[in-house]
Amino acid sequence: MSEEIVYGLHAVSAALKHEPERVVGLWVDRKRRDARLREVLELAETAGVPVHMEDGQALDRLSGGARHQGVFARCRAPARAWSEDDLDSVLAAIDGPPLLLVLDGVQDPHNLGACLRSADAAGVHVVIAPADRSAGLTPTARKVACGAAESVPFIQVTNLARTLRELKERGIWLVGAAGEAERDLYAMDLRGASALVLGAEGKGMRRLTRDECDYLARIPMAGQVESLNVSVATGIFLFEAVRQRRAG
């Protein structure tokens, strides 16, 4: 049976809330007594998930030295993960103007998890990324996402440029983040069907991805720093779209 490890309070709590049938067991630091852990233990009890109390050293060893916050869960691998074949049905089910996030080659699982967390908070309908040279939903990404990996469809595609062309055929405008762009993010109209495209850490978008974008936009920078971490930039782009949509 294929399994994966889910580390940390937020990620374990999300697994117990959204997919309790996948959770095989919990391993918990016996010395923790705080309210956050009690909530996790109550969820485990409700779901009938066995709990194994261990000392800190044993927990470190069993988790392979991961930063587990005193709790981790062993979970069955999802019987069905989101795949490229699901993209059409996900898009067809969207009510109102779509808001999509496209991550071009984000390889750091911490950044992916943070982007997913922002995507969930902003109401993004689907996150799209290339299947090659980009991070997947590793235990680290899930932990940083704090449950967003279970709530936001994350679809990796074999040919990102082709997928972007298909999005444009559906009437979705592609707005790419580029520090050298002439247009200011805050001057863009993001109220309609939009896919916000952000590139990898340091390198930005690949040329083919950039070429498919309808517009490029930059975040105005007042200081000496020339660029922002991709997860920070993602949050700024997404919540500008949220602001505009709420303002009408």
Residue 18 clears pLDDT 60, i.e. is over it: yes
Q: How far is CA 87 from CA 146, 170, 171, in A?
A: 23, 12, 15
**Same structural domain, 68 and 88:** no
Which domain does 38 fall in, by range? 3-76
**Same structural domain, 93 and 63:** no
**Same structural domain, 12 and 116:** no
Helix/strand/coil (H/E/C) assignment for every residue in 198-221: EEECCCECCHHHHHHCCEEEECCC
**Same structural domain, 129 and 235:** yes
101 annotated to bind ligand = no
**Same structural domain, 145 and 188:** yes
199 annotated to bind ligand = yes
**Could you report the per-residue pLDDT of 31-78, keeping only the tens digit for each?**
888 898 899 999 999 999 999 998 888 887 877 767 778 898 888 876
**Same structural domain, 122 and 219:** yes
**Which pLDDT score, from 0 to 100, does residue 161 have?**
96
For residues 177 and 221, give the distance between their C-alpha atoms in angstroms, rounded to a whole number. 13
**Same structural domain, 232 and 114:** yes
For residues 191 and 200, give the distance between their C-alpha atoms in angstroms, rounded to a whole number. 25
Cα-to-chain-centroid distance, residue 230: 12
**Same structural domain, 155 and 242:** yes
CATH number at residue 11: 3.30.1330.30
- Rounded mean pLDDT of 92-117? 95
5 annotated to bind ligand = no
**Could you report the per-residue pLDDT of 182-223, keeping only the tens digit for each?**
999 999 999 999 999 999 877 889 999 999 999 999 999 887
> How many domains does one find in the chain?
2
Question: Is 44 or 138 the better-scoring residue by pLDDT?
Answer: 44
Q: Which helix (H) or strand (E) holds 143?
A: helix 139-145
pTM over 0.95, yes/no = no
| SS3 assignment, position 97 | coil
Q: How far is CA 180 from CA 142, 194, 217, 226, in A?
A: 32, 21, 8, 10
Q: Mind giving me the DSSP string for 6-26?
A: EESHHHHHHHHHH-GGGEEEE
**Same structural domain, 169 and 221:** yes
The residues pairing with 3 across neighbouring beta strands, listed in sequence order, are: 76
Asked which of 17, 48, 76 is the last residue of a domain, the reply is: 76
Asked which of 34, 51, 76 is the last residue of a domain, the reply is: 76
Q: Which helix (H) or strand (E) holds 130?
A: strand 126-130
**Same structural domain, 182 and 213:** yes
Asked which of 76, 106, 129 is the last residue of a domain, the reply is: 76
**Same structural domain, 49 and 124:** no
Residue 130 clears pLDDT 50, i.e. is over it: yes
**Same structural domain, 159 and 198:** yes
